[in-house]
Amino acid sequence: LQNCHGARTERKAALFGKFAFHESGKLRTLDELQGEAMIDVEPASLAPPTLHSICGIAKTYVIDPLIAHSIQLDTKCQVLPRELKEQKKILKKSKRETERYEERVEALEEAVLMAERAGDVIEKCKSGGRGRPSRVDSCESSLANWLVMLGEELPRGYYLF
pLDDT digits (tens, 9 = 90+) for 55-92: 999 999 999 999 998 988 888 877 888 888 999 999 99
> Does 12 or 160 have the greater pLDDT score?
12
pTM: 0.41
Distance from C-alpha of 30 to C-alpha of 63, rounded to nearest angstrom: 47
Residue 71's nearest CA partner among 61, 58, 86 is 86
**123-153 pLDDT, tens digit each:** 888 777 555 544 544 555 566 666 666 776 6
What was the pLDDT predicted at 27? 79
**90-114 pLDDT, tens digit each:** 999 999 999 999 999 999 999 999 9
Per-position b or e across 60-90, b if 16+ CB within 10 A of its CB = eeeeeeeebeeebeeeeeeebeeebeebeee
In sequence order, the 6+-apart residues with CB closer than 8 A to the CB of 132 are: 148
Residue 60's nearest CA partner among 38, 81, 84, 41 is 84
**1-60 pLDDT, tens digit each:** 445 555 566 666 666 666 677 777 777 787 777 777 667 777 767 777 788 889 999 999
